[in-house]
Amino acid sequence: MATLAPPKRTVSADEAREVAEAAREQEWAAPSFVRDLFLGKLRMDLIHPYPEQDADEVARAKPFLDKLERFLREDVDSDRIDREGEIPETVIDGLRQLGAFGIKIPREYGGLGLSQLSYMKAIELVSSVDGSLTALLSAHQSIGVPQPLKMFGNEAQKKKYFPRLAKGAISAFALTEHGVGSDPAAMETTAILDDDVWVLNGEKLWCTNGTKAELLVVMARTPSKMVSGKEKKQITAFIVETDWPGVEIVHRCHFMGLKALYNGVIRFTNVRVPKENVLWGEGKGLKLALITLNTGRLTLPISSVAAGKRCLEISRRWAAERVQWGRPIGQHDAIAQKIGTMAANTLAMEAVAELCGAMAERGGYDIRLEAAIAKLYNSEAGWRIIDDTVQIRGGRGYETADSLRARGEAPIPVERIMRDFRINLIFEGSSEIMHLFIAREAVDKHLQVAGDVVLPGKTVRERLAGLGRSAAFYGWWYPSRWLGWSLWPRYAEFGRLAKHVRFVERSCRRLARSVFHSMIRFGPKLELRQSVLFRLVDVAAELFAMAATCSRAQGLYKQDRAAGARAVKLADLFCRQARRRVRSKFNGLRRNEDVPTYKFAQEILAGEAVWRFAYMWPVRSSPGHCSMQTHCRLASNVVHPFKLKPRVVRQQLQVPRKQGEIGQLS
Ligand SMILES: Cc1cc2nc3c(=O)[nH]c(=O)nc-3n(C[C@H](O)[C@H](O)[C@H](O)COP(=O)(O)OP(=O)(O)OC[C@H]3O[C@@H](n4cnc5c(N)ncnc54)[C@H](O)[C@@H]3O)c2cc1C
């Protein structure tokens, strides 16, 4: 059954940008470590000493975490969950009884009332056992109803829904549609006011927990408003109950991993949503989603840490046990390099994730950039660790746990860990979108100061005012990004790691200069130079990870010299490797193949380079359409591929070539 019609209209780049900009938090009311990094200022005081979790909170969380750990160990069979694609009801009920669906819900509403860090510790435990369970709990608590309700709900909404949620009414978050992946501007689910009731129509795709949920947060387009004579698109968030008439689960989706994900397509047909179920306010839905994700995004970084730790343990044991060519494989340099790097990265990932969690818990920080970096950095690093673990386990890394067990070997589920993990680089903001989100904030200060000078569509008056502002700001700011003492004895309190903190300081000034130079070099077209922006973001991510790791290791050293010395040694290793990556990213800003690569990709998209690949099996572009005919036509011509001119191939593939399509980057 066709569950989703293709979108009725396409959205222009300008429209998409407008919607995203309208949802952006414009203000920086609290300090941000990473925002300052981009401006060339190292604020170690914001993250050092490394924040400790409040001792009372640790004590409060301990009984729950202990029970959760025992439950996971004794009652959860992850191989079975993966094999059957279902989480047994007894497991879901067991989690309900532990209070695992209301970890952060305040106690007065029946929740456990624990903090963000305690929640992350619980998620780390669950993630080290089962990805589908993590998704169940985190789609409910990180992005489902409890988190936005806590942040934006009114008292009546909290009284009505928190107790149900805390008892284990499962919830979900429904934003994505067929045409709405990374870009919400194309949203087609609508809500229209009919007296005191909103009437909801549309279809949502890939809603995690959707097939089991009682409650949903649904994003829908509400009527546009006119602001200063311009139409302003509105997206509003609603709490919707799935047993209301008109809510229908149309399809349960299945994926490469997370086999027991209760993820579905949900259709809304004239669903009548009471006015009081609007969350926060009309038109604030997208902003609500973004702010919710600032802390919601911290789940994936901590589950990446869990994956890193588990893989390290698996790799360590196997590399010591498996003997090939006369030695344990861990003594062969190639494998030892992987294990050393894995350990260093896991330490850094943990330092980043827990630092962000502590910042969210303490308050007084704006963590939107830190959380985005944590999501991006940890999911990418986690994926590399898992890839290395598969390699270290060799053929056994590729074999399923059930198959290993059946032939008498330890059922180590590296293959499943890999399948379950891959989605982390795609959902809750794909790696590309995280880069763009961070890059937008990185240039924010410059746009505030000089936006009127460089952006198109400004009046002469605005440009002159912008020039004055720019002269006043850059006259001081730019020279000072070249000056500054970041050599010995600065940061001496970091001992052996001080040199790395000094490197972070020098490099953040270089980063700030590089952002500025890139803006001058590319002007408004910088937005199109994603490879340049991504390198700048990657530098910032490495510098943040280095700073967090140094602070963390130094903190451990202060607590316990013997154990801390190892952490310092590992942090030193991480920083040495990170410095090499930072230098390489900086070098890539000047020396790269971005433009020819982009241009060639456009030729491929236009069908011009297809002669080289035409033997490959064609891709179905939609369920009803198979490009087999095209393939056969092409295949008959490509017996001698070189005789085929690109234009002919393009015609045969019926790929239109629009003017100006190629060469957007120059
Ligand atoms: C298992 C699973 C669970 C999910 N759970 C939920 C859920 O609970 N609720 C919900 O609302 N959604 C959910 N989603 C949807 C998920 O958030 C989206 O898949 C994600 O936002 C990406 O959208 P897309 O897949 O349509 O990719 P697209 O947006 O089509 O992007 C395709 C590729 O292009 C890249 N890309 C897109 N735009 C740009 C750009 N401007 N510049 C550079 N690169 C770009 C993307 O990074 C990606 O690599 C889930 C998806 C899956 C698969």
Q: pLDDT tens-digit profile of 333-364?
A: 999 999 999 999 999 999 999 999 999 999 99
- Residue 301 in tokens: 């970084």
Pairing of strands 215-227, 230-241: antiparallel
- Per-residue burial over 202-224, b = 16 or more CB atoms within 10 Å of its CB, e = otherwise: bbbbbbbbbbbbbbbbbbbbbee
List CB contacts of 658: < 8 A, sequence separation 6 or more.
none
Q: Which long-range contacts (CB under 8 A, 24 or more apart) does 520-527 make?
A: 523/454, 524/454, 524/455, 524/456, 526/443
Distance between CA atoms of residues 426 and 440, nearest Å: 19
Considering only residues 390 and 227, tell me which one the structure prediction assigns the higher pLDDT. Answer: 390
* Ligand 1 mutation pick, 253, 426, 598, max ligand atoms within 8 A of CB: 426
* Ligand 1 mutation pick, 138, 187, 219, 433, max ligand atoms within 8 A of CB: 433
Atom of ligand 1 nearest to the CA of 176: 11
Model confidence at 626: pLDDT above 50: no
In this structure, how many other beta carbons lie within 10 angstroms of the beta carbon of residue 333? 7
pLDDT-based confidence at residue 5 (cuts at 50, 70, 90): low
Pairing of strands 215-227, 171-174: parallel
- The identity of residue 380, as a single letter, is E
Distance between CA atoms of residues 78 and 133, nearest Å: 9
Distance between CA atoms of residues 175 and 23, nearest Å: 14
| Helices (H), ranges, 365-443 | 368-393, 395-398, 401-406, 414-421, 431-442
Q: Which long-range contacts (CB under 8 A, 24 or more apart) does 154-158 make?
A: 156/276, 157/239, 157/276, 157/277, 157/279, 158/109
Report pLDDT for 664: 56
Which residue has the CA at smallest separation from atom 16 of ligand 1?
427
Q: Are 316 and 388 in contact (CB under 8 A)?
A: no
Q: How far is the CA of 180 from the centre of ligand 1 (A)?
A: 8
Report pLDDT for 643: 39
Report pLDDT for 9: 64
Model confidence at 100: pLDDT above 90: yes
Q: How far is the CA of 173 from the centre of ligand 1 (A)?
A: 14
Distance between CA atoms of residues 190 and 188, nearest Å: 6
Atom of ligand 1 nearest to the CA of 174: 11
Which of these is catalytic: 124, 203, 361, 428? 428
pLDDT-based confidence at residue 522 (cuts at 50, 70, 90): very high
Report pLDDT for 622: 62
Q: Are 206 and 6 in contact (CB under 8 A)?
A: no
pLDDT-based confidence at residue 611 (cuts at 50, 70, 90): low
Whole-number mean pLDDT of the chain?
90
Q: How far is the CA of 183 from the centre of ligand 1 (A)?
A: 9
pLDDT-based confidence at residue 400 (cuts at 50, 70, 90): very high
Model confidence at 94: pLDDT above 60: yes
What would the mean pLDDT of 529-533 be, rounded to a whole number?
Answer: 97
pLDDT-based confidence at residue 185 (cuts at 50, 70, 90): confident
* Ligand 1 mutation pick, 132, 171, 182, 286, max ligand atoms within 8 A of CB: 182
Instruction: For residue 647, give the H/E element and its range.
Output: helix 646-653
Quick one: CA dihedral 441, 446, 452, 455, positive or negative?
negative
Q: How far is the CA of 98 from the centre of ligand 1 (A)?
A: 33
Atom of ligand 1 nearest to the CA of 143: 8
Q: Are 486 and 505 in contact (CB under 8 A)?
A: yes
Atom of ligand 1 nearest to the CA of 210: 8
Q: How far is the CA of 165 from the centre of ligand 1 (A)?
A: 27
Q: How far is the CA of 7 from the centre of ligand 1 (A)?
A: 15
Q: How far is the CA of 427 from the centre of ligand 1 (A)?
A: 6
Report pLDDT for 112: 98
| 3-state SS assignment for residue 237 | strand
pLDDT-based confidence at residue 555 (cuts at 50, 70, 90): very high
Alpha carbons within 13 angstroms on the beta-carbon side of residue 130 total 27
C-alpha pair distances (Å), 402 with each of 83, 405, 410, 416, 422: 9, 5, 9, 10, 21
Model confidence at 652: pLDDT above 90: no
List CB contacts of 532: < 8 A, sequence separation 6 or more.
518, 522, 526, 589, 594
What would the mean pLDDT of 292-315 be, rounded to a whole number?
Answer: 94
pLDDT tens for residues 28-59? 889 999 999 999 999 999 999 999 889 999 99
Q: How far is the CA of 388 from the centre of ligand 1 (A)?
A: 26
Known active-site residue 428 = yes
What would the mean pLDDT of 192-218 be, rounded to a whole number?
Answer: 97
pLDDT-based confidence at residue 638 (cuts at 50, 70, 90): very low
* Ligand 1 mutation pick, 176, 211, 419, max ligand atoms within 8 A of CB: 176
Which residues on neighbouring strands pair with residue 237, listed in sequence order?
A: 219, 279
Atom of ligand 1 nearest to the CA of 436: 42
Distance between CA atoms of residues 427 and 420, nearest Å: 12
The closest of 377, 351, 341 to 576, measured between CA atoms, is 341
Report pLDDT for 227: 82
Residue 563, judged by CB atoms within 10 A of its CB (0-12, 13-18, 19+), counts as exposed
Task: Return the residue matching tokens 């239109």.
Answer: 656
What is the value of pTM for the model shown? 0.92
Atom of ligand 1 nearest to the CA of 255: 1
Distance between CA atoms of residues 652 and 638, nearest Å: 12
Q: Are 53 and 268 in contact (CB under 8 A)?
A: no
The closest of 549, 499, 547 to 346, measured between CA atoms, is 549
User: What are the chain's domains?
Assistant: 32-48+452-595 (1.20.140), 55-170 (1.10.540.10), 172-294 (2.40.110.10), 303-439 (1.20.140.10), 606-665 (no CATH)
Model confidence at 257: pLDDT above 70: yes
**C-alpha 184, offset from chain centre:** 16
Which residue has the CA at smallest separation from atom 27 of ligand 1?
181
Instruction: For residue 510, give the H/E element and its range.
Output: helix 498-522
Atom of ligand 1 nearest to the CA of 16: 41
What would the mean pLDDT of 203-214 be, rounded to a whole number?
Answer: 98
Considering only residues 171 and 26, tell me which one the structure prediction assigns the higher pLDDT. Answer: 171
**C-alpha 254, offset from chain centre:** 21
Model confidence at 651: pLDDT above 60: no
Task: Return the residue matching tokens 């903090």.
Answer: 115
The phi, psi pair for 201, rounded to 5°, reads -140, 140
Q: How much of the chain, in percent, has pLDDT values that exceed 90?
A: 76
pLDDT tens for residues 104-148? 999 999 999 999 999 999 999 999 999 999 999 999 999 999 999
- Residue 46 in tokens: 């914001």
List CB contacts of 120: < 8 A, sequence separation 6 or more.
298, 299, 302, 353, 354, 357
Q: What are the pocket residues of ligand 1 if the criterion is a CB atom closer than 6 Å to any ligand atom?
A: 139, 172-176, 181-182, 206-208, 255, 261, 263, 423, 426-427, 430, 432-433, 436, 530
Q: Are 145 and 210 in contact (CB under 8 A)?
A: no
